[in-house]
């Protein structure tokens, strides 16, 4: 049970961070289907930071530097979506899909190039960060608490406050509901949409490093992030684009994802003799069921995915 709670919290934290990122982008009017790719690039930045940080670095400094590197690369990669969707008015679905495909290939090539430069015989796309990963966890008896869980909780509280209690949040949501009306009262729709995209890059990149450090000390970037970006989108939709709903949905999906890691520790589940791959499929099956029953009552921003044309009314 301890392991179930431990994995639930960490996987829920990943989904929460990435889904909140998607929430900000869509409230601004931009659909960010490239969250999967942003996670991969953000994870690569954080993993490289862990690899090159000197041993003995204080835990708090390690957390800050790794998080900052993931955030910066995630935001930088999200600029591809910003330029294409906001300025060139490209199809946001196609741009996001292209970002997802490009990210895995780009990360694998970059990591391989770094590994070959250090050792010509090492042509893998794997980054090892053994030891550095321990900075993110603290042992509480038999329970291993990850500091990123606390960061995700803070992100949830801040997101709720920003969206509903600040002028910035209200203006952002206005741009996702009726950009023409927002523009008519002096709100710069382009700037608001850029803000939404960059925030999604910030949270998506951070979610990427949380995911790859969840339970391993190395990561092969050809594997990507196992569809967690898409799962986060399902969490966002199930949560009806509201931070509180997203938090609850992330916990639900986190439980099912955690089961695939610890089901052997539950005698009644082990006795069923269900193949492990079935448990791995649970989160995605649940997402399909949830979306099938909730899509009709969707509370999505009305102008999401629609390029803004300042000249139209």
The structural domain count of the chain equals 1
| pTM of the complete model | 0.95
| 3-class DSSP assignment, residue 128 | strand
Kindly report, residue by residue over 62-81, the tens digit of the pLDDT: 999 999 999 999 999 999 99
- The answer to whether residue 57 is domain-embedded is yes
pLDDT exceeds 80 at position 130: no
Is 211 inside any structural domain? yes
Let me know if residue 84 belongs to a domain.
yes
Task: State the CB neighbour count (10 A cutoff) for residue 195.
Answer: 19
pLDDT for the residue numbered 312: 65
Structural domain containing residue 32 = 2-297
Q: What local confidence, expressed as pLDDT, does residue 290 receive?
A: 78
196 domain-assigned = yes
Instruction: Name the band, by pLDDT with cuts 50, 70 and 90, for residue 301.
Output: very high
Q: What is the pLDDT of residue 141?
A: 83
pLDDT confidence of residue 287: 81
Identify whether 303 is part of a domain.
Answer: no
Is 49 domain-assigned?
Answer: yes
**CATH number of the domain to which 8 belongs:** 1.10.3470
Share of the chain above pLDDT 90, in %: 71
Residue 311 lies in a domain: no
The DSSP H or E segment spanning 138 is strand 137-140
Give the span between the Cα atoms of 120 and 288, in whole angstroms.
45
CB neighbour class for 56 (10 Å; exposed up to 12, middle 13-18, buried from 19): exposed
Between CA 31 and CA 12 the distance in angstroms is 22
How far is Cα 76 from Cα 42, in angstroms, rounded to an integer? 9
For 180-237, the pLDDT digits (tens) are 999 999 999 999 999 999 999 999 999 999 999 887 788 999 999 989 999 999 999 9
**pLDDT class of 3 with cuts at 50, 70, 90:** confident
Residue 253 lies in a domain: yes
Let me know: does 232 contact 15? Beta carbons within 8 Å.
Answer: yes
Mean pLDDT of 273-302: 80
Q: Measure CA of the first residue to CA of the last residue in the chain; give whole Å.
A: 56
What are the pLDDT digits (tens) for 236-286?
Answer: 999 999 999 999 999 999 998 888 777 766 777 667 777 777 877 888 888
């Amino acid at each position: 049970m301890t392991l179930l709670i431990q994995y639930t919290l960490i996987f829920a934290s990943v989904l929460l961070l990435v889904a909140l990122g998607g929430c900000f982008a869509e409230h601004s009017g931009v659909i960010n289907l490239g969250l999967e790719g942003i996670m991969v690039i953000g994870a690569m930045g954080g993993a490289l930071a862990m690899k090159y940080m000197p041993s003995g670095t204080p835990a708090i400094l390690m957390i800050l530097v790794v998080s900052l590197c993931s955030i910066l690369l995630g935001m930088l990669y999200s600029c591809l979506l910003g330029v294409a969707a906001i300025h060139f008015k490209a199809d946001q679905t196609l741009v996001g899909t292209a970002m997802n495909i490009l990210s895995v290939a780009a990360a694998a090539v970059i990591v391989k190039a770094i590994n070959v430069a250090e050792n010509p015989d090492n042509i893998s796309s794997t980054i090892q960060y053994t030891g550095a990963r321990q900075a993110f966890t603290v042992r509480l008896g038999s329970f291993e608490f990850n500091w990123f869980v606390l960061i995700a909780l803070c992100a949830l509280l801040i997101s709720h406050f920003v969206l509903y209690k600040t002028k910035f949040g209200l203006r952002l949501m206005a741009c996702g509901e009726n950009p023409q009306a927002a523009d008519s009262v002096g709100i710069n729709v382009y700037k608001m949409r850029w803000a939404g995209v960059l925030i999604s890059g910030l949270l998506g990149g951070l979610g990427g490093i949380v995911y790859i450090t969840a339970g391993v000390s190395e990561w092969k970037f050809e594997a990507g992030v196992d569809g967690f970006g898409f799962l986060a989108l399902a969490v966002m939709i199930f949560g009806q684009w509201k931070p509180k709903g997203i938090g609850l949905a992330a916990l639900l999906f986190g439980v099912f994802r955690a089961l695939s890691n610890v089901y052997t520790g539950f005698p009644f589940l082990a006795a069923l003799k269900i193949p492990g791959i079935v448990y791995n499929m649970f989160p995605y099956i649940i997402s399909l069921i949830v979306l099938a029953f909730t899509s009709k009552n969707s509370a999505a921003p009305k102008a999401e995915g629609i390029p803004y044309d300042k000249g139209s009314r």
